[in-house]
Amino acid sequence: MTNYETYESPFCTRYASEEMQFTFSAQKKFSTFRRLWVALARAEMKLGLEQVTQEKVDELEAHIDDIDFAYAAEEEKKLRHDVMAHVHTYGKCCPKAEGIIHLGATSCYVGDNTDVIVMRDAMKIVHRKLVNVLSNFASFADKYKDMPCLAYTHLQPAQLTTVGKRATLWMNELLMDLEDLEYQMGNLKLLGQKGTTGTQASFMELFHGDEEKIEKLEQMIAEEMGFKQCVPVSGQTYSRKVDSRIVNVLGGIAQSCSKFSNDLRILANFKEIEEPFEKNQIGSSAMPYKRNPMRAERITSLSRYVMIDTLNPAFTAGTQWFERTLDDSANKRIAVAEAFLATDAILNIMLNITNGLVVYPKVIRARVMKELPFMATENIMMDAVMKGGNRQELHEKIRQHSIAAGKVIKEEGGENDLVDRIAADPDFMTTKEEIEAKLIPENYTGRSASQVSAFLDRCIKPVLEKNKDVLGEKAELSV
């Protein structure tokens, strides 16, 4: 429920999905605490700790989700310790098991392991949405792989490409991000139960120095929580470089999406390609005719936030002292959560835009034809050389003719008369009709179409096939 008298994060009220918001919610966090406590107790029981019985484990398991947050808040106010407040809250509804909750563990057993689990689950959401964005782009690239359009260097018309080929440039960067994301997901490890300074000293006491049981205990916890293994060594916490590496991946996604959104904003200005525009959408309060690229602008804006946010976990990782300090806590609970919430919001908009991009073929063609004479000059020059002309002399003449034609366009507002100028120059040994016969845009796009097909077949289709069970996702934007 919206509270109009206190600050509320726009990530919750405007941008991030309910699914991602739940992933970073108190319910998710503290129920995961309880799942970890159950996993610890179950493993301790199986490894022979007599005070941990099946009855106590069953009682703990029966009360994983019924959290009395009001009681926990009162306990935290009294104890000034969030983990112990929830130990007491859990014990209140599990009186038989109260004495074995958190047995041998330190706060980071639940705090850090929960953070890892939450990031894993959040990465799964990001992964699913990123795959669907690539799927949308793949359909778009394939559909427009043959459509010539202007390509730019320095934001100046350079040669021709195709609409589909340009889309593969956006896709290729997102594919790099997907590979980085999958690497982090595949290599993510649980902290396990390392104790106060990472030495597992408390468990040495619990298990009377039986190191084999301690290692087995950790492996059992990892498997119950869905991980292959725990980190091999740590201080009290898992290395904060883990947060930095993961948020860097989110920053990479933001970079790629920002590149696309900025390109789309320019294309909208050219009136070549636009984001979806709803029937009743208002572009401007003062100018009714406007179709502002508000979705792409929002991607640019949120991406800037995520890219800058990557510095937070980087500085946190770089300023941890010895086995741990607590200057990480306040920062990481904001920085990591908001990096995921913002990335989720970005991908929601990406899904929305890429599912409904509007292309204007006639405008694209008209702009191509206006610039094509300049781009055909190399072919015209080579034809003249084949007829006996001097390449260097012809190059200089074309340069002069191009400058003159550009002057007509820029200074006089006239049409491109480069073809007329070349046809009138006897050194080129050609006619206007012969030149115009060569001005077919499709002849100047190089291998664009085949590059699109090869990229989709070799790089994208295997990804989509591997993830076919999650395809078809769409996103509705709240604002």
At 277 the pLDDT is 76
Contacts of 270 (CB under 8 A, 6+ apart): 363, 367
CB 219 within 8 A of CB 178: no
pLDDT > 90: what percent of the chain? Answer: 90
How many Å apart are CA 428 and CA 455, to the nearest integer? 40
Q: Is a pLDDT exceeding 70 seen at residue 55?
A: yes
Closest CA to 173 of 350, 52, 291, 32: 350
CA distances (Å), 6 to each of 9, 160, 303, 365, in order? Answer: 10, 53, 26, 53
Q: Is a pLDDT exceeding 60 seen at residue 341?
A: yes
Is residue 478 very low, low, confident or very high in pLDDT (cuts 50, 70, 90)? low
At 288 the pLDDT is 45
At 438 the pLDDT is 87
Q: What is the pLDDT of residues 306-321, one digit of tens each?
A: 999 999 999 999 999 9
How many Å apart are CA 95 and CA 84, to the nearest integer? 16
Is residue 1 very low, low, confident or very high in pLDDT (cuts 50, 70, 90)? low
At 347 the pLDDT is 98
Q: What is the pLDDT of residues 139-189, one digit of tens each?
A: 999 999 999 999 999 999 999 999 999 999 999 999 999 999 999 999 999
At 384 the pLDDT is 92
- Give the range among 26-35, 56-65, 131-140, 467-476 with minimum mean pLDDT: 467-476
Q: Is a pLDDT exceeding 90 seen at residue 104?
A: yes
CB 338 within 8 A of CB 254: no
151 in the Ramachandran plot: left (φ > 0), alpha (ψ -120 to 50) or beta?
A: beta
Q: What is the pLDDT of residues 177-196, one digit of tens each?
A: 999 999 999 999 999 999 99
Catalytic residues: 154, 284
How many Å apart are CA 96 and CA 176, to the nearest integer? 52
Query: Cα torsion at 88, 93, 94, 98 (round to 10°)?
Result: 20
CB 419 within 8 A of CB 398: no
- The residue written with tokens 């609970």 in the block is 333
Average pLDDT over residues 389-418: 93
Q: What is the pLDDT of residues 211-236, one digit of tens each?
A: 999 999 999 999 999 999 999 999 99
- The sign one gets for the Cα dihedral 28, 33, 38, 44 is positive
Task: Give the number of other Cβ atoms within 10 Å of residue 318's Cβ.
Answer: 10
Q: Is a pLDDT exceeding 60 seen at residue 282?
A: no
Q: Which amino acid is at 258?
A: S
Domains and CATH numbers, the chain: 18-100 (1.10.275.10), 107-363 (1.20.200.10), 377-438 (1.10.40.30)
Q: Is a pLDDT exceeding 70 seen at residue 261?
A: yes
How many Å apart are CA 33 and CA 390, to the nearest integer? 80
How many Å apart are CA 247 and CA 251, to the nearest integer? 6
CA distances (Å), 288 to each of 295, 328, 423, in order? Answer: 18, 49, 46
Q: Is a pLDDT exceeding 80 seen at residue 339?
A: yes
Rg (CA), the chain: 31
Is residue 289 very low, low, confident or very high in pLDDT (cuts 50, 70, 90)? very low
Q: Which amino acid is at 375?
A: M
